[in-house]
Structures are given as C-alpha cells and as structure tokens.
Structure 1
C-alpha cells in the first residue's frame, strides 16, 4: 500500500509472566516509534494484550504497566493496535525467536532485516 513498515527486535529481560513481557515489548515499540516514526498502528499476535488496551480496569495485576502505556498513548494522535495471527506474520515471530537466542544485548529497528540477524525460513 506504499507505506513503509518498520520492524524491530529487542531481547528484553524475562518478566513475571508472558503477558508482562508482551506489555514490555509494546511499551518499547511505542517509545521507539515516538523517536523514529509517525507510526500510529501496532500489531500483535496476543489477543489478551488487545483486551488489556480496551478494558484496562479488568486487568488489575497489570495496572502499573497499563498506566505507563496509557501515558505513552497520549503521544499518538490516532493509536491503534490490531490482532495479527502468528501464521500471517512469520517475520515478526522469527525476529522474536532470534532475539531470545542472543546472549548479548540486542536492539534493532529498521525497514529490513539486517544481514547479521538470521532470516526466517521461507516455506
């Protein structure tokens, strides 16, 4: 559609639960886009993350993280997060898997996968 799609990968520290990790990853993505792009739309394969954005009061165990994200949302004029099944976004899944395998700090944002980062297998 003629739009530039940015992708990123970072190996964040392990959190209490996978949902805490999803929130941390979204927070990092939002902070990164504030610096690098006018991006307003984010995608995730986590339906619970979308539910948290829609009804944060239903997730009291995540109130601190959700407050941080709600504050970041104020920086976006038209914030949107959509569900994208993992089967329809193999690149994002591969980037996440590769980031977990790095034993040193990894932080990457760009329009294409760098040569030093393993490529997802093409089926």
Structure 2
C-alpha cells in the first residue's frame, strides 16, 4: 500500500490469495491481536481515492502463483512490487 501511495496510484484494487487478510481489513475489530497493524492499514486505506481488497484463489491467478513459486526457489528473500517483472525473474506464463 505504501508503494502504491508513493507512486500516486490512488485508484487501486488489491488482491490476495489469503482470505484472512481480506477479513482482517474488512472487519479489523474482530482481530484485536493485529490492531496495531490494522490501524496502519486503515490509515493507508483513507489515503486512496478508491480502495478495495479481494480474495483471489491461486488457482485463478496462475501468473502470481508462478511468481510466488519462483521467489521461493531463490536463495534469498525477495520483496518486489511493480507491474513489470525485473529481468532477473524468469518470464511468467
């Protein structure tokens, strides 16, 4: 979310394969153990002109699944957010 805001992408739809993340963002009061993190999510949400988050099963998003699998195969942690893959990540199908 911070990355999208820094790049002035204010009309954004986030998708995740974790249905709990969608539930947490939608009903933060039901997740008191994560209150500090969800407060930060809420602050960020209010900065967007349009914000939505949806669950998308990995079986419905093979490109993201392939990227996640290739990242797990790398010897170090990879944190990458962009709409274009860097050249060092193999082409996705």
TM exceeding 0.5: yes
Please report how far the alpha carbon of residue 35 of structure 1 lies from its aligned counterpart in structure 2 after TM superposition. 1.6
Give the structure 2 partner of residue 59 of structure 1. Answer: 31
Change in CA separation of 1:47 and 1:106 when aligned onto 2, cut-off 3 Å: closer
1:43-58 superposed matches below 5 A: 43-58=15-30
Structure 1: tracts of 5 or more residues without a match: 1-29
Q: Secondary structure at 2:48's aligned position in 1?
A: coil
Q: Secondary structure at 1:113's aligned position in 2?
A: coil
Please report how far the alpha carbon of residue 84 of structure 1 lies from its aligned counterpart in structure 2 after TM superposition. 1.0
Change in CA separation of 1:88 and 1:31 when aligned onto 2, cut-off 3 Å: same
Change in CA separation of 1:37 and 1:85 when aligned onto 2, cut-off 3 Å: farther
Separation in 2, partners of 1:110, 1:67: 25
Separation in 2, partners of 1:76, 1:31: 10
Please report how far the alpha carbon of residue 55 of structure 1 lies from its aligned counterpart in structure 2 after TM superposition. 0.8
What are the Cα deviations for residues 97-119 of structure 1, in whole angstroms up to 9, with x where unaligned? 33344444644343332221133
Q: TM-score, normalised by structure 1?
A: 0.63
Higher relative contact order (CA 8 A, sep 6+): 1
Please report how far the alpha carbon of residue 82 of structure 1 lies from its aligned counterpart in structure 2 after TM superposition. 1.1
Q: RMSD in angstroms over aligned alpha carbons?
A: 2.0
Separation in 2, partners of 1:114, 1:31: 20
